[in-house]
Amino acid sequence: MSAAREALLKGRTIPQIQRLLESGELTSVGLLTYYLERIQRYDVDKLNAVLELNPDALEIARALDRERADNAVRSPMHGIPVLLKDNIATGDQLHTAAGAAAMLAWDPERDAFLVTQLRKAGAVILGKANLSEWANYMDSCMPNGFSANGGQTQNPYGAFETYGSSSGSAVAVAADLTTVSVGSETQGSMILPAGINSVVALKTSRGLVSGDYIIPLLPWQDVPGPMGRSVTDVAVLLGAMTGVDPNDPDAGRSANLAGRDFTLSLGSKRQKPLRVGIPVWNDESIEAWFDKQGISDKKQHAAFRKVFEELNRSLRSTGEIISSAGLTVVEVPGSALPQQQDVAPALEFGFKDAINSFLENLGDAVPVASLQEIIAFNNKELKNRAPYGQNHLQSSQNTVLTAEEYAAIQEHNQQAARSAIDQLLSKFNIDVIVSDVSQSYAPAGYPALTVPAGYAADGKPQGIVFVGGYLAEPLLLAAGYAYEQATRLRKAPNLEATMKLIHAMDDSPP
């Protein structure tokens, strides 16, 4: 790769890239070539973020360059490469397998609705991103970021976790292997890997982006969302992903945001500043938390109080930054944060029911027709197909939960989470709150945004998470953008150092 090309393109945002494309200094083919060269240099048998490349990508980029030459630019996504998580179906030469060997033979006959929207906007589908197999519902011993098809994804910042399940989507963006990517989340699957890989991710409100033709985990919590190196890029990508899908039962609730230019929410002057809730753990809140957790041991109290003291210092510092960005900070007692909703019992029944239904609809297009057949397929070659085991799949197959019990858990978790968040926002008159309790916003179907928030002493990336009410994406993007611009904490990873680390790990004895 030429030094000039790298200097021109490394870490560029979508608006910066579009200016280069408009000036003629860059073509979509040139942009795509830049990423392909970086993937070859840093990813193949190294970071393992990109599971598969689209063999049609260069031809698509050429066609989009011709459209640009004819003054037929479709949108701000015109000519921009996008990497898709490997559970999002594409009706092209790419596989869609959720990282699983059992699904490799599936050849989807059409695109997922969100992919259709991206193609209409002029995006270039670069390929598929690696993920934690079956959206991290394979086995409790399986590392985050591992799949039978894609191997082990590595964190570009060093010997840190990747989290999951949208591991490859986050790592590829962080390492500048793509401009942006699409991930999906059931509970923490976008927010956690984005934070640990120092990128921006938006877990969307249920129904804002269609979940059509995405291999399911827990349908009433599964949502796709955008990832990027900046809040602006996430806002641009989100606008291209949305649209009213007539086959999505939740689409009608979000129709007023479909196709919106979400960048209009960034840096715009408001009549009243955004009000951001910051949790504060005073003695009363801490005691209330002990009661809720059933912790009565005084030694444990002392240990936890030290944790809360450090947490308070961090949150106060965050509050000062947010205030300096022109937002209004409202202190909220930590005990007022929504209670976590346990999703584990629902997952066993929900995954079995969802994947069996999904496979049944595919008919003869796949060699497995049920979860039971997936397990049997893996058992024939466990070393390669399920090297860490498949206890989640087996427990799901053997679930004793009934459909009625499952429906009751779903109803309780959704209503409890929604009520708790709605009441919190209303009681303290806040627009968004700083919180990372995925067990509350996820079952509620509410959005969350994470933005890079610096690095620990050992270089481990950290993120700040903003949570809002239903369809509060414009508010979250505004808050995240203000924080991002006030701090500018994100740094690109030192990939050469990480390559040496990965090489050393490969050479170490087993």
- Mean pLDDT, range 206-218, rounded to an integer: 97
The catalytic residue among 85, 128, 203, 352 is 85
Q: Is residue 490 part of a domain?
A: no
pLDDT of residue 509: 55
| Contact assessment for residue 31 and residue 81, using Cβ atoms and an 8 Å cutoff | yes
Amino acid at 449: L
Average pLDDT over residues 104-126: 98
* pLDDT score for 171: 99
The DSSP bridge pattern shows strands 328-333 and 275-280 to be parallel
Whether residue 197 has pLDDT greater than 60: yes
Residue 508 has a pLDDT of 60
Active site residue 460: no
The yes-or-no verdict on residue 510 having pLDDT over 60 is no
pLDDT at 345: 82
Whether 124 is covered by a domain: the verdict is yes
The answer to whether residue 178 sits within a structural domain is yes
pLDDT beyond 80 at 176: yes
Q: What is the pLDDT, as a whole number, of residue 253? A: 81
Question: 16-46: per-residue pLDDT in tens?
Answer: 999 999 999 999 999 999 999 999 999 999 9
Asked if the structure places residue 485 within a domain, the reply is: no
Provide mean pLDDT across the span 413-441: 91
Look up the CATH number of the domain holding residue 228.
3.90.1300.10
Per-residue confidence (pLDDT) for residue 371, from 0 to 100: 99
List phi, psi (to 5°) of 500.
Answer: -65, -40
| Active-site residue, selected from the candidate residues 28, 132, 165, 435 | 165
**Residue-number span of the structural domain to which 84 is assigned:** 3-262
Residue 507 pLDDT: 67
**At residue 336, does pLDDT exceed 90?**
no
Minimum mean pLDDT among 155-164, 210-219, 339-348: which range?
339-348
Confidence category of residue 438, pLDDT binned at 50, 70, 90: low
- pLDDT confidence band for 403 (50 / 70 / 90): very high
- What is the pLDDT of the chain when averaged over all its residues? 95
Question: What pLDDT sits at residue 135?
Answer: 98
What does each C-alpha distance from 1 to 9, 30, 62, 132 come to in angstroms? 11, 11, 20, 31
For residue 96, tell me if it sits in a domain: yes
> How many folded domains does the chain comprise?
1
pLDDT surpasses 90 at 341? no
CB 92 within 8 A of CB 54: yes
Share of residues in the chain with pLDDT > 90 (%): 83
How far, in Å, CA of 48 to CA of 160, rounded?
15
Average pLDDT over residues 95-124: 98
Helical axes 283-293 vs 298-324, angle rounded to 10°:
130
pLDDT for residue 479: 97
Domain presence at residue 83: yes
Residue 316 and residue 313: Cα distance in Å, rounded?
A: 5
Report the pLDDT value the prediction gives residue 425, as an integer from 0 to 100: 97
| pLDDT exceeds 80 at position 120 | yes
Model confidence at 313: pLDDT above 80: yes
Inform me whether the pLDDT recorded for 384 exceeds 80.
yes
Nearest CA-CA partner of 324 in 490, 489, 486:
486
Model confidence over 486-508: pLDDT tens digits? 999 999 999 999 999 999 987 66
In a domain, 310, yes or no: no
At residue 80, the pLDDT reads 99
Catalytic residue among 166, 167, 169, 189: 189
| DSSP 8-state secondary structure symbol assigned to residue 91 | S
Please report whether residue 477 resides in a domain. Answer: no
3-class SS of residue 297: coil
Compute CA 145 distance to the chain's CA centroid, rounded to the nearest angstrom. 13
- The stretch 280-309 carries a mean pLDDT of 88
Distances (CA, A) of 132 to 115, 118, 146, 198, 412: 21, 24, 5, 18, 28
Active site residue 189: yes
The pLDDT tens digits for 231-254 are: 999 999 999 999 999 888 887 788
Q: What is the largest CA-CA distance in the chain?
A: 73
- pTM, rounded to two decimals: 0.96
**Residue 118: is its pLDDT beyond 70?**
yes
